[in-house]
Amino acid sequence: MLMSTKVNRYAHQLIDARASARLLPPLSNGEELLVVDGYDISKRILDASIDRGEVPTGRKLGFTNRTLWSKYGVNRPIESLMWAHIFDSTVRFAEDNRGIQSLEGAVQPRIEPEIVFKLATTPDPDASLNDLADCIEWMAHAFEIVVCPFPDWKFEAADAIAAFGLHGTLIIGEPHVLSTATRRNLGDILANASVSLSCCTEASVTLCGAGFGSDVLDSPLHALWHLHQLLKTQPQFAPLSAGEIITTGTWTDAYPVQRGQTWVTAFSGVALPGLTLSFT
């Protein structure tokens, strides 16, 4: 494990790189970092963010899509869920499921289509999958714009965890309050759903990717359950609580985005509207 002085130094390096929108070498280039080191750095960044007046509003999950595990990681594939906090400054809602997003200050931005939950009640420590579903107030479709301070998106798991979980911005579509029947079948509904992701420019419309809810650790609800279990092993962080917004991980690969593009999604198998997001 890292000494506290190194944890502080790495945290400030990442905060400074984010503020100045610049790249820096992966932290793991200098020494082997454990996943626990990444979370120690993440905790320092969380404390510093709160000291600056930012308000945590929930969590983002990453690397929940098993089809992508072999694509990330330099020395070894990243084959497990990670998470990071999201803040009032990084989350917003898209009116009528359409939005405009500036890319100013976004380092190597990519787009990910995801499912978001808002918790109405705090889960019990031993909550089952069905218990967790009963805690959810609403779900929505969202785009997470992920960013990476490491050149060419090359990093190890601990680097990604430390670097704000690669979180940039979360743009959430229309929330849908869950009925009792939907909660009872939520895992299966989302596991059997699919999404398409297309990029539109003045010259063309290109289908870039498609994915299934079952790719996300069997379903986004399962991903939420895995987070709930992981947090029980991390006493330095608060457990899930009522009011939190949780974005559960991408259904497709993360695709690079540029100014002038508009990205569009469409769902099948679940009653959620797609999103349209234009970049400036």
Alpha-carbon distance of 80 to 275, in angstroms, equals: 28
Q: Which residues of 183-206 are buried (b: 16+ CB within 10 A; e: fewer)?
A: beebbebbbebbbbbbbeeeeeee
pLDDT value at residue 31: 86
Residue 24 has what pLDDT? 97
Q: Which alpha helices (H) appear in 92-213, and where do they start and end?
A: 129-135, 157-162, 180-184, 186-191
pTM exceeds 0.75, yes or no? yes
Compute the distance between CA of residue 179 and CA of residue 31 in angstroms, rounded to an integer: 50
Domain ranges of the chain: 4-279
Q: Looking at residue 1, what is its pLDDT? A: 81
- Confidence at residue 270, expressed as pLDDT on a 0 to 100 scale: 96
Phi, psi of 255 (to 5 degrees): -105, 135
Distance CA 187, CA 185 (A): 6
State the pLDDT at residue 204: 87
Helix (H/G/I), strand (E/B), else coil: 224: helix
- Rounded to 5°, angle at Cα 190 from 189 and 196: 125
What SS3 state is found at 169? strand
What residues of the chain score a pLDDT lower than 50? none
- Secondary structure of residue 194 in the 3-state scheme: strand
Alpha-carbon distances of 5 from 8, 11, 19, 232, rounded to whole Å: 5, 10, 21, 26
Identity (one letter) of the amino acid at 128? S
Task: Outline where 142-254 has alpha helix (H).
Answer: 157-162, 180-184, 186-191, 220-231
Residue 30 pLDDT: 82
Tell me how crowded residue 262 is: count the other CB atoms within 10 A of its CB.
Answer: 17
> Can you state the angle between helices 35-51 and 4-20, rounded to 10 degrees?
60
* CATH superfamily of the 4-279 domain: Fumarylacetoacetase-like, C-terminal domain (3.90.850.10)
In angstroms, the CA 84 to CA 91 distance is 13
